[in-house]
Amino acid sequence: MAGVGVAATRAGSVVVTATPGAWGWLPSRACGRAARAAARLGPRRRADALPRDPLPVEASYRLAQFPPRGAPGPGAILLYSPPARAARMGGRTGADEREADELIRRASWLRSRGMHAEALELFERAAALVPDDGIAQFMRAQALMSVDRLAEALEAYGRSAGPGVDPAAVHGGRANALSDLGRHEEALEAIRAAQEADPAFPGALFNEGLELAALGRHEEALASYDRALSVVPDGLVSADGVPEPAGPDSPQLHEERARSLYRLARHAEALDAIDRAIALKPRTATLHSSRGLILDALGRHEDALSSMARASELDPLLVGAHHNRGLVLASMDRFEEALASYNRALELKPDSEAGLACRAQALNALGRPAEALKDAERAVELAPRSEVALLAAIEALSSMGRHDDALSTCARALEFNPDNAKALAWQAASLLSKGRHEDALSSMARAVELGTDGTAVHLVRASALHALGRHEEALASVERAVEMGAGGTAVDPVRASSLHALGRHTEALDSYDRMAERGLCDAITHGERAASLLALGRNAEALGAYDAAVAADPDNATLRHNRGCALASLGRHAEALEEYDRAMGHGNVRPEMLLARADALLELGRAEEAVSEYSRAAAAGIGAAYVGTGLAAAFLALGRPAKALESADSAAAASPGSALAHSARGVSLLELGRNAEALAAFERVIAIDDSAVAHHDRARALAGLGRWEDALDAYGRAIALDPGLAGAHQGRGQVLLILADYAGALAAFELVVAADPDHAGANYGRAEALLNLGRNDDALAAFELAVSLNPANTDARTGRADTFTQMGRHADALAAFELAVAADPGHAYAHLGLGDALLRAGRAGEALEACDRALAIDPDNANMHDGRANALDALGRAADADEERCLAERARGQRRQA
């Protein structure tokens, strides 16, 4: 505000020339309208834009003052006259009054030179000389406003009331001070008091709109602006040449209407309003800058940038133009360019809170949180309640992993505004990072209630729900984010984890694979991907994923343990055991690690060690069902079926609903020959888990009971459930051999061999079927393959010898039986076959010895008795042979009875 200078005197009056930004005062009631007009203060100071918020307050006309109609000249104001003073002061015109007049003249001259502090000192002295003079107090209040001593100015306006002072002018001055103090409700009351005192008070409707807008009451502000548009202006012009803000040709009215329309998201109307303002003042840079923000909100980004460029062309030093250009570029995700614009704005105004806050936002977007935090903290120093600055600080702190500090800053933002939805959303994100998932959900729910509904909101909510095990809800939140436009990079992590937790592994893999292609998988994500692959039976791929996980985090015991499980699924138990040991070497040995290690030892044939490890797992807290089944398998491997049954019984008692425990019990009963009980156990397993393996085991029990047709049906059910279950095809082939369906048996065994050419059992069964079909050459080759695959299979060796016999190659048969007996001296049929071969070679005495050895091994086997009878006949001992045949028949009878 430049000042007031004395220009001339005429007829005892003082004429004061108002330089730009100055004001004067006419206390005469006859010139009240001029006095009220002069109550309008100088041009309002510029303020920066609120980032990503309504239009910047580049210039406002609330503080513009308007001189009286008919004043001595443009910008001139009749200040006062001695007769008027005498009337006002009750006829007193003493030395104090005259000295006060002189001080006011000198103060006005100083203000005209921009010497506000010196002028204020003189106004203070004048007011002290005539404390009851309202005009002196009013001039003092004006001077206090010019040096931003707002609270004192407000007090001085309060002392201005008195004879000759128009109350509307006083209320107007108070409104200005209150507004600058941020006390907008009181300012609004003061403006309305001025309107009551004088309904035609210049600019009152306009100022009412400004205060309503400052309070966020933009619909009411628009109503005030619209009434101001309908006012017929008085023709007043401020010292800056700005017309009174009234009537349809007022550019400032259209600009402020545009601001409120912008804040109400009525962007098309806002554009129309700002265009009308520009039509009236086309070379006003601030209007073009504001127009750019409106165009940006309409999605017309390039047009917005053109408007910003026009603003800078008109005023290269306009801070707001550079700042607002940064806002537009940021809305286009062109953050490097936005940063350059903010830098230019801050060069012009280094301590701009809005500029620092917006630059902090851009730095956050560019992944430079430390620099962002520095700017945000400086902005908060300048404006402790700045929402944008606080939010930028929160984002930077969160990005730096300083979640406790982020939560403290959130609390500060919410202290200023408990309904700050963005702060609540950031608080939820920080709470999530701290593992406070219920609190995170509560905070986010409040943010959503307040209207926050961005994609990040739903993704944070999804993460919290996932962590709480509420996976269906988490997935629903993810899908909502996708509907709102969230892309794969943001969506895939929580979507994949939720789908994985729900067992929807094929869908989960779609997301995991996209993350892997983009190189976005961390160690945990690789691990989850591996688990889904493992669940889908893609074990080799799962191992590769676990390799990547372990490479990313070599010291993660869980990932190493899981990698061991993948190795075990591939039958690589020795390597699995090594990986389990590495996992346990990192400390924090968990019970499941001991259990997995025990399983690996069992698979490696180290059953005694497995028993010890299962016991350790039990002591560490693994449930009896898991330990019991493992111990049962170990004891079976050690040939201790009774002990195995004891462990299995403990497992079943501890977990009656465990199919695994009842299965272990059934297998133990089978080994003990208690087939009927085994059948009942397997049928209970099927009731719990109708699986292919359970039907396979039931078929084994049925076969053990001699219920061959039922066994075939059970094997068929197992195959229907799992066509690739080799054991079911193998068992079915064995039953078909017993039922003399050799072609069917051959087909069953060949299915197994086709899938696993080195399957020793299936190759042996195939050889038996070929032998019985008379395909001796094929049978011989099959037996030889079976022996090579499993040299310990004496049945395969005796089958080979039988094939030689069928082929008439008796010498080869004798040699083959001798090899079988040498390999397994306890095999009864090997001795019996050797006896038959010796008998064919005419060596009846040796044949009888061989049959005796066979009978000693299996005395209740009718075949052994028949073989011995044949040898006795060859030796001419017919009576002994007949007795032996009677023993054979007795053995058969006992077997049938059993």
**Helix, strand, coil share (%) of the chain residues, nearest 5:** 70, 0, 25
Over range 571-581, report the average pLDDT: 93
pLDDT of residue 54: 31
End-to-end CA distance of the chain, in Å? 121
C-alpha 637/C-alpha 464 separation (Å) is 47
pLDDT of residue 465: 86
Q: Are 155 and 181 in contact (CB under 8 A)?
A: no
Closest CA to 752 of 773, 769, 731, 783: 731
Q: Does residue 463 have a pLDDT over 70?
A: yes
C-alpha 569/C-alpha 576 separation (Å) is 9
| Percentage with pLDDT > 70 across the chain | 88
SS3 129: helix
- pLDDT band at residue 257 under the 50/70/90 scheme: very high
Q: Count the neighbouring beta carbons within 10 Å of the beta carbon of residue 773.
A: 14
The most confident of 42-46, 586-590, 849-853, by mean pLDDT: 849-853
Closest CA to 300 of 266, 328, 335, 279: 328
Residue 4: phi and psi, rounded to 5, are: -125, 130
Q: Does residue 895 have a pLDDT over 80?
A: no
pLDDT of residue 898: 52
Q: Alpha helices of 199-266 — where are they, by DSSP H?
A: 204-214, 218-229, 251-263
Q: Which residue has the tokens 């929807």?
A: 504
Q: Count the neighbouring beta carbons within 10 Å of the beta carbon of residue 345.
A: 27
pLDDT of residue 238: 54
Query: Using H for helix, E for strand and C for coil, what is the string for 387-449?
Result: HHHHHHHHHHHHHCCCHHHHHHHHHHHHHHCCCCHHHHHHHHHHHHHCCCHHHHHHHHHHHHH
Over range 819-827, report the average pLDDT: 94
Q: Are 762 and 756 in contact (CB under 8 A)?
A: yes
C-alpha 653/C-alpha 138 separation (Å) is 97
Closest CA to 178 of 136, 214, 202: 214
Q: Write out the E strands in 88-193.
A: none
Q: How many helices (H) and strands (E) does the chain have?
A: 48, 3
b/e map 611-649, b = 16+ CB within 10 Å? bebbebbbeeebbbbbbbbbbbbbbbbeebbebbbbbbb
SS3 10: strand
**pLDDT tens profile 321-348:** 999 999 999 988 899 999 999 999 999 9
- Residue 43 vs residue 110, higher pLDDT: 110
Q: In which element (H, E) is residue 846 found?
A: helix 844-857
C-alpha 127/C-alpha 107 separation (Å) is 12
Structure tokens given for 213: 């807008």
Closest CA to 737 of 762, 765, 711, 759: 765
Q: What is the dihedral of CA 876, 877, 882, 887, to 10 degrees?
A: -130
Over range 762-771, report the average pLDDT: 95
Least confident of 37-51, 379-393, 463-477, 523-537: 37-51
Q: In which element (H, E) is residue 22 found?
A: none
Closest CA to 22 of 122, 142, 128: 142
pLDDT of residue 864: 92
Q: Does residue 127 have a pLDDT over 70?
A: yes
Q: Are 847 and 871 in contact (CB under 8 A)?
A: yes
Q: Are 556 and 548 in contact (CB under 8 A)?
A: no
pLDDT of residue 93: 62
Structure tokens given for 886: 């009677």
Closest CA to 638 of 676, 595, 677, 609: 609
C-alpha 648/C-alpha 661 separation (Å) is 6
Closest CA to 771 of 810, 747, 730, 737: 737
Q: Is the dihedral of CA 242, 245, 250, 255 positive or negative?
A: positive
**pLDDT tens profile 651-700:** 899 889 989 899 999 999 999 999 999 999 999 999 999 999 999 999 99
C-alpha 434/C-alpha 440 separation (Å) is 9
CA 789 to chain centre: 54
The 76-80 sheet, strands edge to edge: 4-10, 13-18, 76-80
Over range 871-878, report the average pLDDT: 92
Q: Are 5 and 110 in contact (CB under 8 A)?
A: no
Over range 733-757, report the average pLDDT: 94
pLDDT of residue 775: 96
Q: CA distances (Å), 485 to each of 478, 489, 505, 575, in order?
A: 11, 12, 24, 46
Q: CA distances (Å), 756 to each of 731, 753, 784, in order?
A: 15, 5, 17
C-alpha 527/C-alpha 497 separation (Å) is 11
Over range 172-200, report the average pLDDT: 90
Q: Which residue has the tokens 């797992």?
A: 617
CA 389 to chain centre: 24
Closest CA to 180 of 139, 214, 221, 140: 214
Closest CA to 440 of 424, 417, 418, 423: 424
Residue 695: phi and psi, rounded to 5, are: -70, -35
Q: In the predicted model, what is the mean pLDDT of the chain?
A: 84
Query: Using H for helix, E for strand and C for coil, what is the string for 87-113?
Result: HHCCCCCCHHHHHHHHHHHHHHHHHHC
Amino acid 531 reads A
Residue 587: phi and psi, rounded to 5, are: 85, 180
**pLDDT tens profile 595-606:** 999 999 999 999
Over range 410-428, report the average pLDDT: 90
**pLDDT tens profile 780-796:** 999 999 999 999 999 99
- Residue 725 vs residue 70, higher pLDDT: 725
Q: Count the neighbouring beta carbons within 10 Å of the beta carbon of residue 381.
A: 13
pLDDT of residue 161: 77
Closest CA to 85 of 145, 135, 15: 135
Closest CA to 512 of 527, 300, 502: 527
Q: Count the neighbouring beta carbons within 10 Å of the beta carbon of residue 365.
A: 16
Q: CA distances (Å), 780 to each of 763, 774, 776, in order?
A: 11, 11, 6
- pLDDT band at residue 263 under the 50/70/90 scheme: very high
- pLDDT band at residue 242 under the 50/70/90 scheme: low
- pLDDT band at residue 440 under the 50/70/90 scheme: confident
Structure tokens given for 308: 């910003």
Amino acid 884 reads E
| Percentage with pLDDT > 90 across the chain | 60
Torsional class of 774: left (φ above 0), alpha (ψ -120 to 50), beta (otherwise): left
Q: Does residue 362 have a pLDDT over 90?
A: yes
Structure tokens given for 821: 């007996």
SS3 8: strand
Q: Does residue 485 have a pLDDT over 80?
A: no
Contacts 24+ apart (CB under 8 A), 721-727: 721/690, 721/691, 721/692, 721/695, 722/691, 722/692, 722/693, 724/755, 725/692, 725/693, 725/696, 726/752, 726/755, 726/756, 726/759, 726/762, 727/693, 727/696
Q: Are 810 and 841 in contact (CB under 8 A)?
A: yes
Least confident of 315-319, 480-484, 511-515: 480-484
C-alpha 392/C-alpha 75 separation (Å) is 46
Over range 305-320, report the average pLDDT: 93
- Residue 639 vs residue 588, higher pLDDT: 639
Over range 182-194, report the average pLDDT: 93
Closest CA to 141 of 68, 42, 127: 127
C-alpha 821/C-alpha 710 separation (Å) is 36
